[in-house]
Amino acid sequence: MAIIIDDVNRLFTLHTQNTTYQFKADSFGFLLHLYYGKRIDNQNMDYLIIPVDRGFSGNPNDAGDDRTYSLDTFPLEYPTEGTGDFRPPALAVTNPDGSRIADLRYHTYTVVDGKYSLPGLPALYDDTGEAAETLVVTLRDAVSGLEVELMYGVFSKTDIITRAVRVHNAGTGNITLRRVMSASLDIQYGQWDIIHFHGRHNMERQFERGSVTHGITAVGSRRGTSSHQHNPFIILCGNDATEYSGSCYGVNLVYSGGFLAQVEQDQNNLVRMNMGMSDDGLNWQLPPGDSFVSPEAVISFSSNGLSQLSHNYHTVYRNNLCRGKYKLCRRPIIINNWEATYFDFDSDMLTQIATDAAELGVEMLVMDDGWFGKRDSDTSSLGDWTVNLDKIPGGLAPLVEQINALGMKFGIWVEPEMVSEDSDLYRAHPDWVLAVPGRAPVRSRCQLVLDLSRAEVCDYLFDAMAAVLDSANIEYVKWDMNRSISDWYSHLLPAERQGELMHRYVLGLYHLLERITQRYPDVLFEGCSGGGGRFDPGMLFYHPLIWCSDNTDAIERLKIQYGTSFAYPVSSVSSHVSAVPNHQTGRTTPLLARSIVAMSGNYGFELDTTMLSAAEKNEIRGQIKLYKQYQHILHNGLYYRLSSPFEQPYTAWMMVLADQSAALLNIVVSSQSANASPLHLQLKGLDPDASYQLGEEDGTYTGAALMSAGFAIQAPTEEHYACQILLQRHVE
Ligand code: DGJ
């Protein structure tokens, strides 16, 4: 049993294989958080609650004259506004009388087998025999009638606990929700660092680590998407934690809209972490009888450092989040024409690129932006999803047939959520865009955003996408989204409901994605938002892979993919070999470095094959062969970061099969210096007692030696040296 309830003490204990999470309802019915960390059996940890009068803290009326009882100093399971706790709340409401209090007391609980699901929202599921369990704890505000269900999903084998919240108005008046966090976690003791992943377009998910200090540290997005600028994933780790030791908590929001992650160290040095959808402008009307469901947060704890934490997320996302035919199997190696042609292409050029690519071993052509309407630049035609017959004579079917005749599959780019002002769609339905009446909307990349909170807009998009996908043998869709959202105003919603729009947009998007992915179960969907601007678990529920960044420079990708690896598995990262000099940085790197970096993802190409020399083609042919040989290790292996591109002039990482029979070591040097020392790496994840053969070398090394003494190579003298070494367990 993963969930243990002590009814006498109203004590709730959630166990995973290596962790324990515990909270209790105290005598007043307040939910106090007791512990989350390394597994502890058979222990009520309420002895850790030490009431103290810190002064200037509120004492609930029920406590009488006891000044030591204060919600301001206790660790709370789901803190609310207005109850004498002055730290950031998880829930903020306005009651029918205008008051801003939710005094939630314990009411009841249920435990069920299996994992809860969330209506209209992506969430982890359990169909893998993991035997997940669900706990739902119900709290009530006796005055307003507000009911809050705290949902917990326990995935024992992967040390994952999910959290979500359902808020229900069982009262008689209209309640307004101003903040509904998905998870809140109070940690009473320890010295903590926060790790988060910031960035910008072309430079997403840059690792940053700093101390948690008094006051609030917050990251988030107000852009309507999870964003390039911050990722909805943070880690709290002991200030002495490393990749392979120490305590680490992760929290990741399964949501693709704006979010907020807050960490506060309070006057008692207790650390509170809140994670949820952005409350910026949130004003959700909850009339009597209505419910609101928050997105899900996925939390995990590792007592063995950051790599173990990443393994927990990677495993659960591959098995219990991604869906569809391509969830676990090898995806086709693709060539995408964007960096080869940009908007300037036609059927002949695509066929030529595909012909050369097929001969190299590439398995699919993806036709990128520019095939529809009269789109020759980014100023027009979004919304008009009909083929440009000047570029693609005869339409999609003949082109796809030609590509299929080469033995290749065909994929297509779309950007359904957007509209150009220069489009038939906009001319017919100017009120379908997000725009404030009487004000000209903000443009970004010359485009506006369709109002996906409107059912008729989503219906139009479903029909338009279905018409494209039904018109030819299309086996892959790259779903792009190329701007942040401003002008939050829907022509359909009444004034008092405009504060619901940011979330309604995301719900509309998820509904559309669900319909399309269910209608086309054999199509492989790749998510994209100007590269990795929406790289989040919400999107992974619909798209098992996401274009990681528009930056295809192998050296910069080391940092981007390093940051991405903390939460997201290699199989979710779309990564391509592009031409040199690189289009984003002007840097020239050897093909081997580009290839090794791209292989730590869904391998593909983004270049004009007709421009490749015979020698380059030869090398690519060999690399594609290797990818096919190594793919099961690359995607199924446990991922170990061996060095950081933010600290070392090289990056090394490895993947190790679960049975430790084989591993792949990858090294790419980002900057060279003269007369450098040998590169020395302590490998990870091997069987210490086994012997491993490295590549084609004669002789073997024990796993113990490779992990403890390490492995060294002579400092390379060529620029951006890269190597990939297969380790195979030696069998006598
Ligand atoms: C942004 C994407 O990230 C690129 O790969 C490409 O598809 C362009 N959009 C096309 O407009």
- What pLDDT does residue 462 have? 98
Q: Ligand 1 centre and the CA of 490: distance in Å?
A: 27
- What pLDDT does residue 398 have? 98
Mean pLDDT of 253-267: 98
Atom of ligand 1 nearest to the CA of 338: 6
- What pLDDT does residue 559 have? 98
For 130-154, letters b (16+ CB in 10 Å) and e give bebbbbbbbbbbeebbbbbbbbbbb
Residue 607: which pLDDT band, with cuts at 50, 70 and 90?
Answer: very high
Handedness of CA 452, 455, 461, 462 (dihedral sign): positive
Q: Is 635 exposed, middle or buried, given 0-12, 13-18 or 19+ CB atoms closer than 10 A? A: buried
The DSSP code sequence of 664-704 is: EEEEEESS--TTPPPEEE---S--TTSEEEETT-SS-EEHH
Phi-psi region of 469 (alpha: psi -120 to 50; beta: other; left: phi over 0): alpha
3-class SS string, 146-209: EEEEEEEEEECCCCEEEEEEEEEECCCCCEEEEEEEEEEEEECCCCEEEEEEEEECCEEEEEEE
125 lines ligand 1 (CB under 6 A): no
Residue 732 has pLDDT above 80, yes or no: no
368 lines ligand 1 (CB under 6 A): yes
Q: Quote the crossing angle between the two packed helices 347-360 and 614-636, to the nearest 10°.
A: 70
415 lines ligand 1 (CB under 6 A): no
Higher-pLDDT residue of 366, 675: 366
Q: Ligand 1 centre and the CA of 565: distance in Å?
A: 22
Contact 657, 636 (CB under 8 A): yes
530 lines ligand 1 (CB under 6 A): yes
Interatomic CA distance for residues 359 and 404, integer angstroms: 13
Atom of ligand 1 nearest to the CA of 378: 11
Q: How far is CA 515 from the centre of its chain?
A: 21
Q: Ligand 1 centre and the CA of 426: distance in Å?
A: 22
Contact 639, 599 (CB under 8 A): no
Interatomic CA distance for residues 649 and 487, integer angstroms: 44
Q: By 3-state DSSP, what share of the chain in percent is helix, strand and coil, each rounded to 5?
A: 20, 35, 45
Q: How many residues are there in the chain? A: 732
- What pLDDT does residue 716 have? 82
363 lines ligand 1 (CB under 6 A): no
Lowest average pLDDT, out of 125-129, 333-337, 575-579, 592-596, goes to 125-129
Interatomic CA distance for residues 20 and 159, integer angstroms: 9
Mean pLDDT of 441-451: 97
- What pLDDT does residue 731 have? 87
Question: What is the CA angle 414-419-424, rounded to 5?
Answer: 105
Report the run of H or E that residue 5 belongs to, with start and end: strand 3-6
Q: Ligand 1 centre and the CA of 82: distance in Å?
A: 46
Phi-psi region of 712 (alpha: psi -120 to 50; beta: other; left: phi over 0): beta
Interatomic CA distance for residues 666 and 697, integer angstroms: 16
Contact 24, 11 (CB under 8 A): yes
The tens digit of pLDDT for each residue in 132-172 reads 999 999 999 999 999 999 999 999 999 999 999 999 999 99
Query: Which residue has the CA at smallest separation from atom 9 of ligand 1?
Result: 530
Q: Ligand 1 centre and the CA of 509: distance in Å?
A: 19
- What pLDDT does residue 309 have? 98
Tokens linked to 530: 């100007």
Q: Ligand 1 centre and the CA of 166: distance in Å?
A: 37
- What pLDDT does residue 473 have? 98
Mean pLDDT of 385-399: 98
Q: Which of 336, 483, 547, 560 to mutate to test the pocket of ligand 1 (most atoms within 8 A of CB)?
A: 547
Atom of ligand 1 nearest to the CA of 550: 3
Q: Which of 550, 575, 605 to mutate to test the pocket of ligand 1 (most atoms within 8 A of CB)?
A: 550
Classify residue 707 by its DSSP letter: I
Interatomic CA distance for residues 472 and 658, integer angstroms: 40
Q: Ligand 1 centre and the CA of 530: distance in Å?
A: 6
**Closest Cα partner for 183 from 76, 48, 34?**
76
Report the run of H or E that residue 561 belongs to, with start and end: helix 554-564
Q: 């087998």: which residue's tokens?
A: 113
Q: 């179960």: which residue's tokens?
A: 521
Atom of ligand 1 nearest to the CA of 528: 3
Query: Which residue has the CA at smallest separation from atom 10 of ligand 1?
Result: 369
- What pLDDT does residue 717 have? 85
339 lines ligand 1 (CB under 6 A): no
Atom of ligand 1 nearest to the CA of 606: 5
Residue 482: which pLDDT band, with cuts at 50, 70 and 90?
Answer: very high
370 lines ligand 1 (CB under 6 A): no
Q: Ligand 1 centre and the CA of 615: distance in Å?
A: 29
**Residue 20: helix, strand or coil by DSSP?**
strand
Contact 534, 231 (CB under 8 A): no
Residue 183: which pLDDT band, with cuts at 50, 70 and 90?
Answer: very high
Q: Which of 528, 539, 605 to mutate to test the pocket of ligand 1 (most atoms within 8 A of CB)?
A: 528
- What pLDDT does residue 290 have? 98
547 lines ligand 1 (CB under 6 A): yes
338 lines ligand 1 (CB under 6 A): yes
Bridge partners for 105 per DSSP: 140
419 lines ligand 1 (CB under 6 A): no
- What pLDDT does residue 127 have? 85
487 lines ligand 1 (CB under 6 A): no
Contact 258, 222 (CB under 8 A): yes
Interatomic CA distance for residues 179 and 343, integer angstroms: 43
Interatomic CA distance for residues 572 and 558, integer angstroms: 16
Contact 375, 390 (CB under 8 A): no
Active site amino acids? 536, 616
367 lines ligand 1 (CB under 6 A): no
Q: Which of 228, 366, 369 to mutate to test the pocket of ligand 1 (most atoms within 8 A of CB)?
A: 369
- What pLDDT does residue 701 have? 97
Handedness of CA 11, 90, 217, 26 (dihedral sign): negative
Residue 715 has pLDDT above 90, yes or no: no
The tens digit of pLDDT for each residue in 116-132 reads 999 999 999 998 777 89
Query: Which residue has the CA at smallest separation from atom 1 of ligand 1?
Result: 530
Classify residue 66 by its DSSP letter: -
The tens digit of pLDDT for each residue in 634-664 reads 999 999 999 999 999 999 999 999 999 999 9
Task: Write the CA distances from 24 to 30, 31, 96, integer angstroms.
Answer: 8, 6, 30
178 backbone dihedrals φ, ψ, rounded to 5°: -110, -15
Tokens linked to 625: 């062969």
528 lines ligand 1 (CB under 6 A): yes
Instruction: For the chain, give the mean pLDDT.
Output: 97
The tens digit of pLDDT for each residue in 32-63 reads 999 999 999 999 999 999 999 999 989 999 99
The tens digit of pLDDT for each residue in 517-531 reads 999 999 999 999 999
Which residues, in sequence order, are CB contacts of 402 under 8 Å at separation 6+? Answer: 347, 351, 354
Mean pLDDT of 351-372: 98
Interatomic CA distance for residues 722 and 495, integer angstroms: 58
For 542-581, letters b (16+ CB in 10 Å) and e give bbbbbbbbbbbbbbbbbbbbbbbbbbbbbbbbbbbbbbbe
